[in-house]
Chains A and B, each alone.
Chain A
């Protein structure tokens, strides 16, 4: 299963990037992005990320956590 996914992503990347030759380590990159992507999804599930969470919540939290003398 994982090998087919790696192959599919590799093929896709080569087409999208119009590469004539397979660059060194592209298989490893495909594995890496699958692993990281799965981690993002699993972490979101495990942490019960609320539906309303947006990237802007991060900026607000940085400000909320700033001590008084942080100016």
Chain B
């Protein structure tokens, strides 16, 4: 296969090509490493590359195919992950100065499971400092750049993952999502990402931000790619006691099931409050595609209690984050970026009773929400990034302090509440705004029903080509 075609493959396509011998894992891996080396400097998306290890693993994968071994689903496919997934012996710096030079002494469960599924691990990708931020800005390691226009934000905190997958440098990446950190980079960069249900994927060996909210999940080009990655990493892990015991469906195997009769709820209130007309038009157009694919659409009233969810999510996230960081906040406050320091201090100031109230309210707000939405529908269709993707300069805390809190509140308006509720939610690209940057919609499902989200997203991507558009680098 011509080298110029290799990076146009989806993850699923790359896995098929390796399996059939159309291309070797060594060819794919070398090509991905070359592209990382060539394009990472402009995008600032790579924290560390492990080329020798990756090439060795690719040759082992090719030998297994030559021998006729049974091949796992991601056999020989190169990936790279957010710089918060530990692999014993590799650096893991979390986009920070405080963890500079940190060498992991354990390997995370998600990475182990991707290894078992045959994936090749190339690199660690840049991220927002300690994953605490949703724009992609990083005052320590530099801002990651959006491949569609390097003046614009990538979204965060899985900023390097969004940029590297969108730029066709790697076929997929693990991110993490505490308030939108998988879905916002996926949306800003025009790729697909899914935050699974709270507890669906083990967090063992992943840097913690807020243990009540953190979710591990994939960013990739398509819903099919996400289905393959999620299928590989999901499931109970005794090393993460909060991971759920239930079994894992065959996400990829269920993608071709009909969506006829699946009911999609659209909100009569709340979600569109901060959404611009331009974004609204694209999101509503995506709903028409889903209706044409066979989905039944019903309008639902979002309960007033959900309006509290975003702030309560912030309260829990900042408080738990401050607890993890309390020693460094005392001993090394000058080593945090100023914005990160302020965000953690917000949590350090929260009284314990308010934190516990915010946690206890989750079941009450979830019950309200489920009664309103899931008694009438299987999925909820809502916007994601409410405005066209802004520039880095427009949204920098240092240069735009006046509008910063409002911008951050609006950006997370459609994402944070689903971390608070623990529900699965995916970002699916559905067009481009006039500034040439991508726009996406969001599908939200019942607890542990990622399969319905992925099936509907796959049906959408069968009928549209937004996910196939590639930025010119």
Contact = CB atoms under 8 A, between A and B. Distances in A.
Contact of B370 (A29, A30, A65, A70): A65
Contacts of A60: 363
A55 B312 contact: no
B311 interface: yes
Contacts of B347: 33
Main secondary structure of the interface of A (DSSP, over half): helix
Contact of B314 (A17, A26, A36, A63): A36
Nearest to B254: A69
A58 B422 contact: yes
B345 A70 contact: no
Nearest to A54: B360
A41 interface: yes
B311 A67 contact: no
What interface size band does chain B fall in?
Answer: 35 or more
Contacts of A9: 349
Interface string B358-379: 1111111111101000100000
Contacts of B359: 55, 58
Contacts of B405: 28, 32
A9 B246 CA distance: 44
B451 A70 contact: yes
A47 B329 contact: no
Nearest to A53: B360
The secondary structure that dominates the B interface is helix
Contacts of B249: 69-71
B360 A26 contact: no
Contact of B363 (A12, A36, A61): A61
Contact of A70 (B315, B357, B447): B447
B362 A58 contact: yes
Interface in B409-466: 422, 446-449, 451-452
B374 to A, nearest CB: 7
Contacts of B362: 55, 58
B448 A28 contact: no
A24 interface: yes
B68 interface: no
B264 to A, nearest CB: 15
Contact of A41 (B248, B305, B354, B452): B354
B247 A71 contact: yes
A67 B349 contact: no
Residue of B199, B342, B345 with highest tally of chain A CB at under 10 A = B345
A38 to B, nearest CB: 8
B224 to A, nearest CB: 19
A43 B368 CA distance: 13
A65 B308 contact: no
A54 B345 CA distance: 26
Contacts of B212: 55
Given A12-B349, A47-B364, A65-B374, A23 B449 contact: no
Interface string A37-64: 1011101101101000111011111110
A18 interface: yes
A40 B447 contact: no
Contact of B448 (A25, A57, A66): A66
Contacts of B89: none
Contacts of A66: 246, 446-449
Contacts of B67: none
Contacts of A65: 366, 370, 374, 446-447
A53 B365 CA distance: 12
B309 to A, nearest CB: 9
B360 A37 contact: no
Given A26-B345, A29-B346, A71-B448, A37 B312 contact: no
B342 A26 contact: yes
Contact of A13 (B338, B348, B363): B348
A47 B361 contact: yes
A5 to B, nearest CB: 11
B311 A13 contact: no
A40 B427 CA distance: 28
Q: Report, nearest first, the 7 A-B pairs whose CB atoms are least far apart.
A: A71-B247, A70-B448, A37-B354, A57-B363, A29-B346, A36-B315, A58-B362
Given A23-B338, A29-B346, 19 more contacts: A13-B349, A23-B333, A24-B338, A32-B346, A32-B405, A35-B311, A43-B308, A55-B212, A55-B356, A55-B359, A55-B360, A62-B197, A65-B374, A65-B447, A67-B448, A70-B447, A70-B448, A71-B247, A71-B249
Interface of B: 197-199, 212, 244, 246-249, 305, 308, 311-312, 314-315, 318, 329-330, 333, 338-339, 341-343, 345-351, 354-368, 370, 374, 397, 401, 405, 422, 446-449, 451-452
8 contacts: A13-B345, A25-B397, A25-B401, A33-B315, A49-B357, A59-B199, A66-B246, A71-B249
